[in-house]
Structure 1
Amino acid sequence: MVSSVFFGAALSASLAAAYAPGLELVYSLDRATQGIAISADGRKFLSQRYSLTAAPQAVELLNDNTTRLYPNAAWNSYNASDNSSDPYETFVSIDGARIGPDGRYWLVDGGSSGLNGSTKLVGVNLSNDTVDKIYHLDNIIASDSGIDDVRFNAAAEVAYLSDTAGALVVLNMTSGTGVRVLVDDPSAVAWFPMMYNGTLVPGYQGADSTLAVGLDQIEVSPDGTWLYYQPCNGGLYKIETSLVDASLTNSTLAATLGDYAIPVALTPSTGGTTIDGDGNIYFSDTNLLAIWKVTPEGRATILVQDDALIWTDLMWVTADKKLWLPASQMRPGADGLMAQGPNNIFTFPIDAGPSPIDHA
């Protein structure tokens, strides 16, 4: 088990004055945490991947505030230097992770370019903690794809996966077939580099390069009618899910899907999002270190701002109307884009509970 530190009520209260009103520190962890998902019965799952020296991992946060590799050590054992490591049945590069409407814990493995079997969507059955669904995406994605996050339609029959190369993958959960749409559409590509704390984020192509990331954040409205999406630098759009789903079998529609995109709000450079039961979407602002709230009508306001909200990523909404905020610590300059702690998870009160089709 990997130890983690929990701040109890008394200590949390004593630290509250150090943070913005309403922002509560609930966990401080040994390892930077990209995302959190909480099951209906209160089990907490974390995706921890922002490290250049240790492999990405999925863990369950236990009641004694330690963590265990999830669903087991074998799935978290990939080693690029070990020829016996099987990318088909290990996590190579965990990106998105959340509990879907079917109750499974779904993990998006962005894989590694050119490594067959590494890019996949993995479903873990929480009743027995075993992987019982795997969708390999090699035959759907492009050579430059970066599969990052996942959401599902209302019937849990279709999965939507963001592709940071500037596209959306639509996956039939019954047949395993899929289509890549919105390819290079203006709504899906990055029109400006990302920003962190007032500066452009450096890229990986040498001096003066900057980081621009295409379609990344996706959400589905609580009634299942709309698919929302944006590139990482912001600019939120929506398309009717009926049209997106139909692109699986209608090639003409698939080729022209961008024609049906509707602009919603000019959102900020974003680390991650989530949606509540009233259809409000929450965006982490990597530039202002804040959380934005965008209503279904497109009204955008800052909900909370604090220097501790460093690159907040995969958020979660619970039935007690709390927004869970993992501050992943990704930032320019420190060991690539990785900083050394503190690796905190916060909560913030909101006015709604979870979406009935998004949080099982």
Structure 2
Amino acid sequence: MNDTAAASLPLRENACTIERVARFEHQVTGVTVSEDGRIFVNFPRWTEDAPVSVAELLAGGEVKPYPDEEWNAWRNARKDELSPGEHWVCVQSVVADGRGSLWVLDPAAPAQSHVVSGGPKLVQVDLTSDKPVRTIAFDEDTAPQGSYLNDVRFSPDGAWAYITDSGVKGALVVVELASGRAVRVLDGDPSTQMKKGLDVKADGAVLRRPDGRGVEFSADGIELSGDGAWLYWQAIKGDILYRIATSVLQGAGMRGEDVGASVEDYGHNGVNDGLLIARGTERMLLTAVEHDAIRMRDLARGPQAPLVTLVQDARLRWPDTFSQGPDGSVYVTTSHIQDSAFFKPDAPGALPTELWKLRPAE
């Protein structure tokens, strides 16, 4: 699937199939593909003290700790021995910016619980030297206890980063990259919160933990329009897509003003995790976690645009994060959240997961 194919991806039912790229022995969430085709993935410390947090996927399917073993040396059991600011504590997202860097978002909250002091950060790794070149540390004003910084997008000019917080009180975080200044916006706004009364299902049944709690993720999926003018997001425990003009975030938002009145309801999305606007289009791909499916909607048709199922496959066990490669190929991870020890106490901590590539149907 090259750029031309992605740009003209048929907006019709069953337009795609999936091909497995890799299988992992640990729970994967994020994936990204650099401009030269290198693939990176990450493994958060949710139900195990994962031995690798960030890795490059090699041609044979092996994972290589990235950028090196030392940055991946953190273990929950060794938390008093290592600096949380210089190690991956609980990485949730990796994003290549197309400008020669890999950015790693670390909410530093193992098991989505206590935030490790000094751990929340956004780290820039130079892909030529494979060395970290910058760390933007987030203080308690940006990443308070109860937060879980989830995913990140970068403006086309490389000046801004936008982050979702899927913790108990959802929010967005806007980062001016030149200065490293970060401001928390829409904190507690209805658009970033879990939707009351909504139950997330898996395999046709409401997904609940042993203590009766359901899926409780606030603002999670995030995406920028191709021109960088609009930021889109939604909560996993939610079914509405929201957007806001990035000019508002860069202006009033960075001044600490309430920007809730500038948020737009952009229509019913259903329950989703990852979002991706295919490069060169206004078509948004969605990971329909309740249906083991990838769906699409044409944003150019407005908030009422219908949802179309591109592929539904039982192997898409909680499709999680998208990335689009330089050739236009679309990748998606399956994090098997419904199969994890969060919801199945007898499940293994080291949960097998996969990376898939979308293929046009024959």
Structure 2: tracts of 5 or more residues without a match: 1-13
Q: After superposition, what is the alpha-carbon deviation per residue over 1:285-323, rounded to whole angstroms, capped at 9, x for unaligned?
A: 111111111221342221111110011111111243322
Quote the residue 1:354 is aligned against: none
Query: 1:4-153 to 2 correspondence within 5 Å?
Result: 22-49=17-44, 52-55=47-50, 57-82=53-78, 83-112=80-109, 113-138=114-139, 139-153=141-155
Structure 1: tracts of 5 or more residues without a match: 1-18, 352-360
Distance verdict in 2 for CA 1:172–1:321, change over 3 Å:
closer
Kept after mapping to 2: 8 A contact 1:158/1:171: yes
TM-score (norm 2): 0.84
Q: Tell me, what secondary structure is at the counterpart of 2:32? A: strand
Q: In the TM superposition, what is the alpha-carbon distance from 1:66 to its structure 2 partner?
A: 1.8
Quote the residue 2:274 is aligned against: 272
Query: 1:275-290 to 2 correspondence within 5 Å?
Result: 275-277=277-279, 278-290=281-293
Query: 1:1-360 to 2 correspondence within 5 Å?
Result: 22-49=17-44, 52-55=47-50, 57-82=53-78, 83-112=80-109, 113-138=114-139, 139-164=141-166, 165-191=169-195, 192-203=198-209, 207-233=211-237, 234-251=239-256, 254-255=257-258, 257-277=259-279, 278-296=281-299, 297=301, 298=303, 299=305, 300-332=307-339, 334=341, 336=343, 342-349=352-359
Kept after mapping to 1: 8 A contact 2:292/2:316: yes
Q: In the TM superposition, what is the alpha-carbon distance from 1:101 to its structure 2 partner?
A: 4.1
Q: Tell me, what secondary structure is at the counterpart of 2:49? A: coil
Q: In the TM superposition, what is the alpha-carbon distance from 1:119 to its structure 2 partner?
A: 0.7
Q: Tell me, what secondary structure is at the counterpart of 1:239? A: strand
Partner Cα distance (1:334, 1:318) in 2: 32
Count of residues in correspondence between the two structures: 328
Partner Cα distance (1:350, 1:275) in 2: 17
Partner Cα distance (1:286, 1:306) in 2: 11
TM-score (norm 1): 0.84
Q: In the TM superposition, what is the alpha-carbon distance from 1:225 to its structure 2 partner?
A: 1.0
Aligned CA RMSD, in angstroms, stands at 2.3
Partner Cα distance (2:60, 2:49) in 1: 24
Q: After superposition, what is the alpha-carbon deviation per residue over 1:16-52, rounded to whole angstroms, capped at 9, x for unaligned?
A: xxx9962222222333322221111111111123652
Q: Tell me, what secondary structure is at the counterpart of 2:179? A: coil
Q: Tell me, what secondary structure is at the counterpart of 2:147? A: coil
Kept after mapping to 1: 8 A contact 2:15/2:310: no
Kept after mapping to 2: 8 A contact 1:312/1:325: yes
Q: In the TM superposition, what is the alpha-carbon distance from 1:94 to its structure 2 partner?
A: 0.5
Q: After superposition, what is the alpha-carbon deviation per residue over 1:254-311, rounded to whole angstroms, capped at 9, x for unaligned?
A: 31x1111111121122232222111322111111111111221342221111110011
Q: In the TM superposition, what is the alpha-carbon distance from 1:343 to its structure 2 partner?
A: 2.5
Q: In the TM superposition, what is the alpha-carbon distance from 1:143 to its structure 2 partner?
A: 2.6
Distance verdict in 2 for CA 1:143–1:52, change over 3 Å:
closer
Point out the more displaced range, 79-88 or 24-33: 24-33
Distance verdict in 2 for CA 1:21–1:167, change over 3 Å:
closer
Kept after mapping to 1: 8 A contact 2:115/2:144: no
The runs of at least 4 aligned residues of structure 1 exceeding 4 Å deviation read 332-342
Q: Tell me, what secondary structure is at the counterpart of 1:208? A: coil
Partner Cα distance (1:92, 1:115) in 2: 8
Q: In the TM superposition, what is the alpha-carbon distance from 1:248 to its structure 2 partner?
A: 4.6
